[in-house]
Amino acid sequence: SVTLFGVIDMAVSGYKNQSVTPSGLAVDVSKTALSSSGYTTSRLGFRGTEDLGGGFAASFWLEAGMSPDTGSGAATGGGIAFNRRSTVSLSSGLGEIRLGRDYTPTYWNDAVFDPFGNLGVGGSLIYTASGGAALGVPGSGFQSNPNYIRASNSIGYLLPPNLGGIYGQFLYALNEKTNYDPGGLTPPGVAAVVANPALATADNARAGRYIGGRLGYMSGPLDTAVAFARSTIASNFFVGTTTNLDIWSIGASYDFGMVKLFGEYSNNKQDVNFATNTFNPVGTTKPGANGALLGFSIPVGASLIRASWSEVRYNNLPVGVFASQPEADQFAIGYVYNLSKRSALYASASYLDNKNGAALAVGGAPGFYTATAPGGVGNAVPNKSMGYDLGFRHIF
């Protein structure tokens, strides 16, 4: 009753990131590596379903990520952990209740409507900007979302599959916050904070909470969905603030047969909520970013040609850091040759252009050179990034 499944995907990959110093010197940082998961994410999993009768079913899903180039898993220290998905479900004709660690609704739009599925050098800039690639300036909006792709401690509901093409997922993740009553005794305690306001540092007790949903419609060649979420990324009890990242996105794909088109628009905004508290600071801005993607895939016999353009534009950066808001554009192209349904050779290449201080890089690339070059005044600024993958993917 248990299915063992997995993917191993490795590629020879090359990357080059170019920065430019204030004096105009181009500085390249490059690397050649055996990379993992350029076409399909490497994994090992166990799953199964039990028919409970009466239209009810119980099921479980344990899926671990891994880096087969080194044999490591995703846990700290390199051990295997079921970080990709670890859920138990109870389902009926009314839908599915799912507990555990699962994908967030807002992530699916970024993955499903990118012809590169966020993977390898060609993965969407929306994903790159959301996944932790830093801008180099504070408050860039996409960063620091602990629940971007997945959420632990989640309770999910999925619509049943018989709604005439309508599908949906709703997810609430607990932050498992420890509450103190009276609240003033929350460590380090209100008395200590009054005596020394510097103690009112972020405890982030509310971070980790996620509430979001996704509603879609799939019929024939069309697939489209909207998603929205509020993900709590920081908090400070004594200042009385909760820092949320509000996300919404819309995406669609349409399969004309000869060619399948993809598109997505995504919006992220960081919002600091204030509680009624005498420690409230003055108002802050709401930094954020918008992302967009257009792409296509063309099947030709056993081959698949893929291409995408994606863009990210940052908003509300601190005044004076850059003359204009940072932005980045990326073009990606790829070729897949299917040796079978399970095994495929693939090649991908992408080119990324940063403007006004954006510091995004193609997937897998090393960091930009951002130090002060000898004799220079000011740091080198990220400019271009490019890379390729030449790989082999095997599903088991």
Report the site for a copy of itself in 341-380 (rule: CB under 8 A).
Answer: 342-343, 366, 369, 371, 373-375
CA–CA distance, 97 with 147 (Å, rounded to integer): 19
The distance from CA 143 to its chain's CA centroid, rounded to whole angstroms, is: 10
Residue 231 φ then ψ, to 5°: -115, 125
Whether residue 169 contacts residue 156, with contact meaning beta carbons closer than 8 Å, is answered with: yes
Contact between 358 and 382 under an 8 Å Cβ cutoff? The reply is yes
Tell me if residue 132 falls in helix, strand or coil.
coil
Comparison of 44 and 352: residue with beta carbon closer to a copy of itself: 44
Binding mask 287-326 for a copy of itself (x = CB under 8 A): ----------------------------------------
Size of the site for a copy of itself (CB under 8 A): 85
Decide if residue 91 touches a copy of itself (CB under 8 A).
no
Q: Which position among 37, 40, 41, 82 is part of the footprint of a copy of itself (CB under 8 A)?
A: 82
State the Cα–Cα distance between residues 189 and 168, nearest whole angstrom. Answer: 43
Cβ-contact 175, 206 below 8 angstroms? yes
Shortest separation between residue 234's beta carbon and a copy of itself, angstroms: 19
One character per residue 40-69, x = contact with a copy of itself (rule: CB under 8 A): ----x-x-x-x-xx--x-xxx-x-x-x-xx
Residues 168-227 that bind a copy of itself (CB under 8 A): 174, 176-182, 184-185, 187, 189-191
CA 361 – CA 294 distance, rounded (Å): 18
> Do 234 and 243 contact (CB within 8 A), yes or no?
yes
- Residue 37 or 118 with smaller CB distance to a copy of itself: 37
How far apart (Å, rounded) are the C-alpha atoms in residues 236 and 202? 4
Residue with smaller CB distance to a copy of itself, 184 or 221: 184
87 contacts a copy of itself (rule: CB under 8 A): yes
For the bound state, the minimum distance from the C-beta of residue 267 to a copy of itself, rounded and expressed in Å, comes to 29
CB closer to a copy of itself, 33 vs 166: 33
